[in-house]
Amino acid sequence: MSEERSLNFIEEIIEEDLKGGKYKSIITRFPPEPNGYLHIGHASSICLNFGLTKTYPGYTNLRFDDTNPVTEETEYVDSIKEDIKWLGFEWKNELYASDYFGELYQFAHKLIDKGLAYVDDSTSEDIAAMKGTPTEPGKNSPYRERTIEENKRLFEGMKNGEFPDGSKTLRAKIDMAHINMLMRDPILYRIKHAHHHRTGDDWCIYPMYDFAHGQSDSIENITHSICTMEFIPHRELYDWLIEKLEIFPSHQYEFARRNINYTVTSKRKLLQLVNEKYVEGWDDPRMPTISGLRRRGYTPESIRDFCDRIGIAKRDNIVDVGLLEFCAREHLNKVALRRMVVFDPIRITLTNYEGGGEQLQTENNPEDVNGGVRNISFGKHLFIERDDFMQNPPKKYFRLAPGQMVRLKSAYIIRCDEMVKDDAGNVTELLCTYFPESKSGSDTSGIHVKGTLHWVNADDSIEVVVREYDRLFRVEDPSSEEGDFKEYLNPGSLKLVTGHAEPSLKNAAVNDRFQFLRKGYYCLDKESPSDKMVFNRTVTLKDGWKK
RNA sequence: UGAGCUAUGGUGUAACGGUAGCACUACAGAUUUUGGUUCUGUCUGUUAAGGUUCGAAUCCUUAUAGCUCAACCA
């Protein structure tokens, strides 16, 4: 391994396992439940699991943890696969916990045969009541001592649909006084007469997480089963089941879930935002979902870079969304095509300009030597940003003001001579002179100006719609605030504005990335209508100008 | 108040008993036909108290704080 980069604790474990000869190669898995869309937190787990088998010999499976038919849908399966591929990873095998329902059923019988599982007729309330509390032991179920034969018969009956939902469960027989609540005779199987997105109506009993996850890991010979910290208490049960079942000893390792400020990443909360129409869907560009970030204009590279930078550790964290934005700018700066778009225009008339149809050349991307150039048309009537003019400028104002000169990007230097005002005294137009000898690339004017402005030709610019996104929430950690998290939504998270764009933007495609000069990074929305193009603002440019 | 996990600048993450480093942010300056980029520099940190040691962010003890565990969810 390279010496420069320090290893995270999971990589350290793997290196030791490899060095010590415990394994020759490793197998990891990414195990989403298909009950929602993947978000930035999942991206971290994906980069970890798939990244590990890029650095070390081995492979990574994609396994859907689909053991709860009532919340899971094929739509989610499809979106998850799309997101992983888009992020740039390939799984070795596409697998489903539901593939193992038959095997899992046999495992359950094995446990019953060993006297380590029993069928319980208690209601869920009774089971909860007998569970005890973290400080008090639980009580044994009255059904705990059924014979192996009776348990086998009843469990088979459960499988054959002889009993209604909720009437019986299969439980592991461990210890109702165990210090770890999860070891107090955990439920292994429950009855659900529900349609499953893959197995249809073949089954009416479904294994619980604890009786599916570790067993699936084992079946696939997963060497390193990586999950988040809240599963630490499950590890004891994970190991217990593997030991009693005498199957391949996969091992579970836990890392801290990554949190980001000004958003939420619980599937329950994201689902609420979608269902209650606070956003337009799972892929709303304000959502922290992979599909939202994609639609917003984030690149896979920038997301992978982000995951890399925040690393993997075991302590609680709230990562500043500013780092995600930095990663976006970092990549986009290298790849985005530069275009000029004026948002809030003020009209300029060049009083001494008489040319017509003049074409100027400008670079598509100064960061990319192979980026090429394009033509932009100059003319007598132009638009610049209203912000780029001030009637009474402060001392360090480099932009346009009465009597002041600026360069128009890739064009000429102009001087503001006169303001035209309406009856209310608002400036509606600026009358300027241009300096013909100051043309970009062949400037012999000898004039030096501090400011360079973006502009468009008023006579051929096209109008586009631009969606300016801001953070979804007003507070850093909506979940920790008093009351409903939705009270903390940012009412200004979406603003629609009109942009006056240079005509070349007509050719924009969905996967193109643009920098609108001096403004930010933008991309064409995937549902942009052809008659009025819609662009999403990914992130603004850093603004170093202190007023 | 049972048990478990975790504590390093504003944020994230390294340092594996031997110089507290990197990145983001912020702030200065240089460069710049984007107040962008790039480059240079600056500020800011080991939760606390004891102990072991020549030497502790690291090992031990205690305290404190945060998170997790009593779903027929995952």
Instruction: Give the residue-averaged pLDDT of A354-361.
Output: 92
CB A360 within 8 A of CB A400: no
pLDDT tens, A224-276? Answer: 999 999 999 999 999 999 999 999 999 999 999 999 999 999 999 999 999 99
> Cβ of A219: how many Cβ atoms within 10 Å?
19
- What confidence score (pLDDT) does residue A527 get? 97
Through-space separation of residue A49 CA and nucleotide B64 C1' in angstroms: 36
Please give the nucleotide, over all strands, whose C1' is closest to the CA of residue A166. B72
How far is residue A134 from each of residues A131, A139, A180, A208, A267, measured CA to CA in Å?
9, 13, 8, 22, 27
Query: Residue A4: pLDDT above 80?
Result: no
HSE, CB side, 13 Å, CA atoms: give it for residue A251: 10
- What confidence score (pLDDT) does residue A264 get? 97
* Protein residue closest to B2, using CA and C1': A135
Catalytic residues of A: 33, 257, 267
Please give the nucleotide, over all strands, whose C1' is closest to the CA of residue A314. B6
Q: Which of residues 73-92 of A touch strand B (CB under 7 A)?
A: none
- According to DSSP, residue A541 is labeled P
pLDDT tens, A103-130? Answer: 999 999 999 999 999 999 999 999 999 9
Name the average pLDDT for chain A: 96
- What confidence score (pLDDT) does residue A546 get? 78
CB A430 within 8 A of CB A399: no
Helix or strand or coil: residue A455? coil
Strands A169-172 and A187-191: antiparallel
> Strand B: which positions are within 7 A of a protein CB?
1-8, 10-16, 23-28, 33-38, 66-74
Q: Which of residues 394-453 of A touch strand B (CB under 7 A)?
A: 396-399, 407, 409-410, 438-441, 443, 451-453
Q: Which of residues 219-258 of A touch strand B (CB under 7 A)?
A: 229-234, 256
The amino acid occupying position A342 is: V
pLDDT tens, A277-307? Answer: 999 999 999 999 999 999 999 999 999 999 9
A135 touches strand B (CB under 7 A): yes
Query: Residue A17: pLDDT above 90?
Result: yes
pLDDT tens, A408-437? Answer: 999 999 999 999 999 999 999 999 999 999
The complex's ipTM works out to 0.97
pTM: 0.96
In DSSP terms, A118 is beta-bridged to A171
Structure tokens at A209: 């997480």
Through-space separation of residue A301 CA and nucleotide B17 C1' in angstroms: 40
Residues 6+ apart with CB under 8 A from A143: A118, A119, A120, A121, A122
- In this prediction, residue A545 has a pLDDT band, given cuts at 50, 70 and 90, of confident
Please give the nucleotide, over all strands, whose C1' is closest to the CA of residue A327. B24
CB A253 within 8 A of CB A313: no
> Cβ of A346: how many Cβ atoms within 10 Å?
20
CB A462 within 8 A of CB A506: yes
